[in-house]
Amino acid sequence: MEFEEVVRARRSVRAFRSDPVPPETIRALLDIARRAPSGTNIQPWKVHVVAGATRARLEREVLAHRETRPADGVAEFPRMGKRKEPYLSRMRALGKDMYGRIGIPRGDEAASWRQWGRNYSFFDAPVGLIFTIDKDLDAMSYADVGMFMQTLMLAARDRGLDTCAQGA
Ligand SMILES: Cc1cc2nc3c(=O)[nH]c(=O)nc-3n(C[C@H](O)[C@H](O)[C@H](O)COP(=O)(O)O)c2cc1C
């Protein structure tokens, strides 16, 4: 595809076929993503790739942990403080679009909980990529990892593979 076509074609996909993705394809995607720029060229990205039995076990364990309703707000990376405009309205608009489209009305806590849980099944994608970063690094390195991720997602789209970035 032409570059602009790839950029326009990438979108967050939340339903996948189970066809396995060959390990060499994942390696090729990681190899192209590492061309991303990074401040002072420290290339701080670290990626854990899960597929097959490992992916299935991770999904099981994370979903089981979620059932214990673990305390929120213990993320090991900086999160948004008090939600404010204009971001709040944009978040609400996304929630309405996404959940409304699949018939979950605002306020249906049980259905929303279930649907959000699909994040932890990687929306059935056969491969999960978990991006981590050294705790001692700062915001600049988060930007580096973001660029790495976007490069990878565009390269995936170029090979006919869809993705969904997840903060969940
Ligand atoms: C850093 C980041 C975190 C995200 N976290 C989630 C997530 O946890 N779950 C989800 O379904 N989508 C998540 N998304 C996808 C966004 O909702 C999506 O990128 C946005 O709505 C724009 O839609 P598009 O990707 O189709 O262009 C995330 C995207 C980014 C960049």
Confidence tier at 14 by pLDDT (50, 70, 90)? very high
* pLDDT reading at 75 higher than 80: no
Q: Which residues, other chains included, contact 62 with Cβ-Cβ below 8 Å and sequence gap of 6+?
A: 120
Q: Give residue-wise pLDDT tens across range 17-58.
A: 999 999 999 999 999 999 999 999 999 999 999 999 999 999
Give the distance from CA 60 to its chain's centroid. Answer: 18
pTM score, two decimals?
0.95
Ligand 1 center–CA 92 separation, angstroms: 13
- Nearest CA, atom 19, ligand 1: 12
* pLDDT reading at 72 higher than 80: no
* pLDDT reading at 73 higher than 70: no
Q: Give residue-wise pLDDT tens across range 98-156.
A: 999 999 998 999 999 999 999 999 999 999 999 999 999 999 999 999 999 999 999 99
SS3 for 10? coil
Ligand 1 center–CA 140 separation, angstroms: 20
Q: Which ligand 1 atom sits nearest the alpha carbon of residue 149?
A: 31
Q: Which ligand 1 atom sits nearest the alpha carbon of residue 168?
A: 8
- 167 C-beta closer than 6 A to ligand 1: yes
Q: How many angstroms separate the CA atoms of 4 and 69, rounded? A: 42
Q: Which ligand 1 atom sits nearest the alpha carbon of residue 118?
A: 11
Q: How many CA atoms lie within 13 A of 32 on its CB side?
A: 15
List, in sequence order, every residue forming a beta bridge with 130; answer none if it has no partner.
48
